[in-house]
RNA sequence: UGGGUCGUCGCCAAGCGGUAAGGCACGGGGUUUUGAUCUCCGCAUACCAAGGUUCGAAUCCUUGCGACCCAGCCA
């Protein structure tokens, strides 16, 4: 792993590893792995796991592999594999080795033969439905399949023929022979191989039988010499099975499985099935829609790898099911962007302002710094002229209490420029304000006027010297904190989660914007150029997050 | 009602028998040509509950209560 500046914190997993190291377990080595199934795009929940696994490898001078858990070809494909590799790299991590569970299919097969030879696995002809019935319930023990005591020879023969493709899908299954009365349902002779004639994105049609997760994962870990196999809480009940398989087989090592609580983030969904549904049913515009909690979506929205890593560090790692408030993620991205984003001015909903006492045709290049606290980020030139545009919201015909922007007869500071005073409001026949007539105080460039205080500061652009842009404002995708708990999560989709503003005007310097740069449009939020739709000179900006809204500013 | 896991501030989370860290959020001052940033101050006599052990308990024991996960030939 490569990165870098994430603060080191303690958590129960790191404590376990520290203790293991002290006892010189695993010859003092630490090896982890991040094992996604390539059946969808990575999301913020995966980021937690990625940061944990790669982070631990980094801290303990160990290694972390990327391994695709590709044992169910029905849902997996190359596009997902590629997106996963891209996203892990983008987050700033480097894997020691890149593997696939399918790399081990041959070994997995021969281990299964060993299990059969030891009398610890058998081929069952019960149907899926029958197996379910035989399994018993949470409170009642299961009962043994009639095939459970098939001879080793017969099992070997049948398993060979399963592989050879002699049987129809579902005709047989290979089961571990453990204990049908176990209080742990996972130990009631779990299936470890099924017949499935599906083309696999890596092994093609070489196999018609595929190993199951529980059987595959532990052996894959052992083959790779993983020392600590970190997974989420729902696999706690599977640990006895993980250990059983490795205890029965002579694998190169016996990794330790450790479980932690998966991330639950308010107002978002982190179920791949549901995310997939949002994409395929077009509730969003693809896996990388900026409203999606996917890494690709967050990236397109303007999130930085650093902010995501910081977030993962802040939320901690425990075994407690918890819901993280969305404010934590927002804090992380604001913190990074406040420090590093270049400032610029953009007027989302323009109102024309004519400065009557400013010379016709004159254009002044004002030098404005790119960051108020970091002069090292330099300055840019912003053209000023007689006709400028300000935000409609920054003028109020009837100002609410404490309003400190422009009002009729009042003064306001144009950011980085002069103080202007509104002399007259021009309205259309319908009574809509179409233009403001103002005058400027030539003596207020770079200094405050004498004898009076001007409280408000607003942003602006020169009408003629600005560029047109489309600006997309995103809001949370769901209307309730935990959409996953709804009977139907589609019912709580926020239909106002995307607001597209056309005809916005941005300062001239933004015509050269690139998706890698992030900007703070002063007073309105953090934005970045959309990496997909900004083509042929068209400028499209995505709002990453608003500025923090102190006190009354909201509304 | 079987098995597994978890209960510390609104949300996260340290704490591991010696007298409740920190972050986010929130409230209030100050600075500010972004109602941003920055900065200062405040924010759990209290750790799910009740008993017990101890000089001393969030930490140990007991009994309750509450929450989550498991009955795919998914992962």
Nucleotide nearest A39 (Cα, C1'):
B75
pLDDT at A3: 32
Reduced to 3 states, what is the DSSP secondary structure of residue A361?
coil
Contact between A357 and A440 under an 8 Å Cβ cutoff? The reply is: yes
For residues A204 and A425, give the distance between their C-alpha atoms in angstroms, rounded to a whole number.
Answer: 72
Q: Which nucleotides of B are covered by protein (CB under 7 A)?
A: 1-8, 10-16, 22-25, 28, 33-38, 67-75
pLDDT, tens only, A294-317? 999 999 999 999 999 999 999 999
Q: Strand ranges (DSSP E) for A165-227?
A: 173-176, 191-195, 209-211
Looking at residue A507, the DSSP 8-state letter turns out to be E
Please list the pLDDT of chain A residue by residue as tens digits (555 residues): 333 333 456 899 999 999 999 999 999 999 999 999 999 999 999 999 999 999 999 999 999 999 999 999 999 999 999 999 999 999 999 999 999 999 999 999 999 999 999 999 999 999 999 999 999 999 999 999 999 999 999 999 999 999 999 999 999 999 999 999 999 999 999 999 999 999 999 999 999 999 999 999 999 999 999 999 999 999 999 999 999 999 999 899 999 999 999 999 999 999 999 999 999 999 999 999 999 999 999 999 999 999 999 999 999 999 999 999 999 999 999 999 999 999 999 999 999 999 999 999 999 999 999 999 999 999 999 999 999 999 999 999 999 989 999 999 999 999 999 999 999 999 999 999 999 999 999 999 999 998 899 999 999 999 999 999 999 999 999 999 999 999 999 999 999 999 999 999 999 999 999 988 999 999 999 999 999 999 988 999 999 999 998 755 443
Q: Which residues contact A518 (CB under 8 A, 6 or more apart)?
A: A302, A304, A337, A340, A341, A342, A526, A527, A528, A544
Chain center to CA of A97: 23
The DSSP-derived string for A335-349 is: HHHHHHPEEE-EESS
For residues A221 and A242, give the distance between their C-alpha atoms in angstroms, rounded to a whole number.
Answer: 10
Q: Which residues contact A204 (CB under 8 A, 6 or more apart)?
A: none
Rg for chain A (alpha carbons), in Å?
Answer: 31
Length of chain A: 555
- Strands A342-344 and A518-521, bridge-based pairing: parallel
pLDDT at A479: 97
Q: Is the CB of A437 under 7 A from strand B?
A: no
Per-position b or e across A104-143, b if 16+ CB within 10 A of its CB: bbeebbebbbebbeeebbbbbebeeeebeebbbeeeeebe
**In 3D, which of A389, A359, A403 has the Cα closest to residue A507?**
A389
The C-alpha angle A280, A267, A288, rounded to 5 degrees, equals: 40
Nucleotide nearest A454 (Cα, C1'):
B33
- Chain A 232-291, CB < 7 Å to strand B: 233-238, 261
For residues A46 and A65, give the distance between their C-alpha atoms in angstroms, rounded to a whole number.
Answer: 15
Nucleotide nearest A548 (Cα, C1'):
B36
Nucleotide nearest A132 (Cα, C1'):
B71
Q: Which residues contact A273 (CB under 8 A, 6 or more apart)?
A: none
The C-alpha angle A175, A227, A315, rounded to 5 degrees, equals: 100
Calculate the average pLDDT of chain A.
Answer: 96
C1' of nucleotide B74: residue with nearest CA = A72
Domains and CATH numbers, chain A: 12-100+214-329 (3.40.50.620), 105-213 (3.90.800.10), 351-462 (2.40.240.10), 467-545 (2.40.240.10)
Q: Which residues contact A185 (CB under 8 A, 6 or more apart)?
A: A135, A136, A138, A237
Q: Is the CB of A416 under 7 A from strand B?
A: yes
Catalytic residue list of A: 37, 262, 272
Note the pTM of the prediction, 2 decimals. 0.96
For residues A30 and A439, give the distance between their C-alpha atoms in angstroms, rounded to a whole number.
Answer: 69
pLDDT at A6: 36
- Tell me the CA–C1' distance in angstroms for A307 and B25: 19
């Amino acid at each position: 792993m490569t990165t870098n500046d994430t603060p080191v914190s303690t958590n129960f997993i790191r404590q376990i590893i520290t203790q293991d190291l002290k006892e010189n377990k695993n010859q003092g080595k630490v090896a982890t792995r991040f094992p996604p199934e390539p059946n969808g795009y990575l999301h913020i929940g995966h980021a937690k796991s990625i940061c944990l696994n790669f982070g631990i490898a980094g801290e303990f001078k160990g290694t972390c592999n990327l391994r695709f858990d590709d044992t169910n070809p029905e849902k997996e494909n190359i596009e997902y594999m590629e997106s996963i590799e891209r996203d892990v790299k983008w987050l700033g991590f480097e894997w020691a080795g890149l593997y696939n569970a399918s790399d081990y299919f041959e070994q997995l097969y021969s281990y299964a033969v060993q299990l059969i030879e030891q009398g610890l696995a058998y081929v069952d002809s019960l149907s899926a439905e029958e197996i379910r019935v035989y399994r018993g319930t949470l409170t009642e023990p299961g009962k043994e399949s009639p095939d459970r005591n098939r001879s080793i020879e017969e099992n070997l023969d049948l398993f060979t023929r399963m592989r050879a493709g002699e049987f129809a899908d579902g005709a047989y299954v290979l089961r571990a022979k453990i204990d049908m009365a176990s209080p742990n349902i996972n130990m009631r002779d779990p299936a470890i191989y099924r017949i499935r004639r599906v083309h696999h994105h890596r092994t093609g049609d070489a196999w018609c039988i595929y190993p199951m997760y529980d059987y595959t994962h532990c052996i894959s870990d052992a083959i790779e010499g993983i020392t600590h196999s970190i997974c989420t809480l729902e696999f706690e009940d599977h640990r006895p099975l993980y250990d059983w398989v490795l205890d029965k087989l002579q694998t190169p090592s016996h990794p330790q499985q450790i479980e932690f609580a998966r991330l639950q983030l308010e107002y978002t969904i982190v179920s791949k099935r549901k995310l997939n549904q949002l994409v395929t049913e077009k509730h969003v515009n693809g896996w990388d829609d900026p409203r999606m909690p996917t890494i690709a979506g967050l990236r397109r929205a303007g999130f930085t790898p650093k902010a995501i890593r910081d977030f993962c560090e802040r939320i901690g790692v425990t075994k407690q099911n918890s819901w993280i408030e969305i404010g934590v993620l927002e804090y992380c991205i604001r913190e990074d962007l406040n420090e590093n984003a270049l400032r610029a001015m953009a007027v989302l909903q323009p109102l024309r302002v004519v400065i009557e006492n400013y010379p016709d045709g004159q254009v002044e290049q004002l030098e404005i710094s790119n960051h108020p606290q970091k002069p090292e980020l330099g300055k840019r030139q912003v053209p000023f002229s007689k006709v400028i545009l300000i935000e409609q919201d920054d003028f109020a015909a009837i100002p609410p209490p404490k309003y400190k922007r422009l009002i009729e007869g009042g003064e306001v500071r144009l950011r980085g420029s002069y103080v202007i005073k509104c002399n007259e409001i021009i309205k259309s026949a319908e009574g809509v304000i179409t233009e403001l007539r103002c005058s400027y105080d030539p003596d207020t460039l770079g200094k405050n006027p004498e004898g009076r205080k001007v409280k408000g500061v607003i942003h602006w652009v020169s009408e003629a010297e600005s560029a047109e842009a489309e600006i997309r404002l995103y809001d949370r995708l769901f209307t309730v904190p935990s959409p996953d708990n709804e009977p139907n999560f589609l019912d709580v989709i926020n239909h106002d989660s995307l607001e597209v503003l056309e005809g916005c005007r941005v300062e001239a310097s933004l015509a050269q914007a690139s998706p890698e740069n992030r900007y703070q449009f002063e007073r309105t939020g953090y934005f970045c150029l959309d990496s997909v739709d900004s083509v042929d000179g068209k400028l499209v900006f995505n709002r990453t997050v608003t500025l923090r809204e102190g006190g009354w500013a909201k509304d």
